[in-house]
Amino acid sequence: MKILLVSATPFEIEPALLHFNISKDAGNINNSSIHILITGVGMTATAFSLGTELASKNYDLAINAGIAGAFDRSLKTGDVVSVGLDCFAELGAEDGENFLSIDELGFGKASIKPEIAFTHPGISTLKKVRSITVNKVHGNDESIYTISERLNPQTETMEGAAFFYACNKTNLPCLQLRAISNYVEQRNRDNWNIPIAIKNLNNTLIEILTNI
């Protein structure tokens, strides 16, 4: 199997790469070849990087691994989740105090899920969540309330929906793994726990890749 492992930053997947002794570009695990794509942060960087990669190379599976913020307070810091539905949360237009989604404007769909989902025993126990993808992470009580009322998301990232979009356009089976590093609230780095999120994310990633 030829697998594309996608992450916005190298540090989010570094423990797994060290575990398998994979270089920054590619390596092998059992009978699978693993190719690494570090996209950079945000939808634009992710879409460009994946578009370039998938235009010239074929893969059997793409895995997007990274950290996320949680709206859902039942999720604990360090929890690893599988994103089942993502959304381009800001794709649309303002109409006074109201927001019109791209769906309402008649130009497409904001919500997106894998058209070819990947199943594996290592993810069967993970909670499947609804996520949103944003250019500006939420850190204001009013905007958090507004987006929660409109979309009821459980997590947010800056890349996930773009990852699903690229995979769907190329009929590539895909999986988005996220570990909760913080809650979506007024920005307070003292409440974040990135180390435990990265540790748990990579433990899950190692289990999946070992038994794929």
β-sheet bridge partners, residue 86: 112
pLDDT at 99: 92
- Does the pLDDT of residue 185 top 90, yes or no? no
- Cβ atoms of 60 and 33 closer than 8 Å: no
Q: Report the C-alpha gap between 197 and 66 in whole angstroms.
A: 9
In the chain, what are the domains? Answer: 2-210 (3.40.50.1580)
Torsion of CA 42, 186, 179, 161, to 10 degrees: -30
pLDDT at 212: 84
Name residue 171's amino acid.
Answer: N
pLDDT at 19: 93
What confidence tens digit (pLDDT) does each residue in 122-161 have? 788 899 999 999 999 998 889 999 999 999 999 999 999 9
pLDDT at 190: 79
Higher-confidence residue: 119 or 174?
Answer: 174
On whether the pTM is more than 0.85, the answer is yes
Task: Give the residue carrying structure tokens 């895995």.
Answer: 63
Mean pLDDT for the chain overall: 94
- Does the pLDDT of residue 179 top 80, yes or no? yes
Alpha carbon of residue 180 to chain centroid: 11
Give the whole-number percent of the chain exceeding pLDDT 70: 100
Neighbours of 58 (CB within 10 A): 9
**Phi-psi domain of 92 (left: phi exceeds 0; alpha: psi -120 through 50; beta: other):** left
Across 68-80, average pLDDT: 96
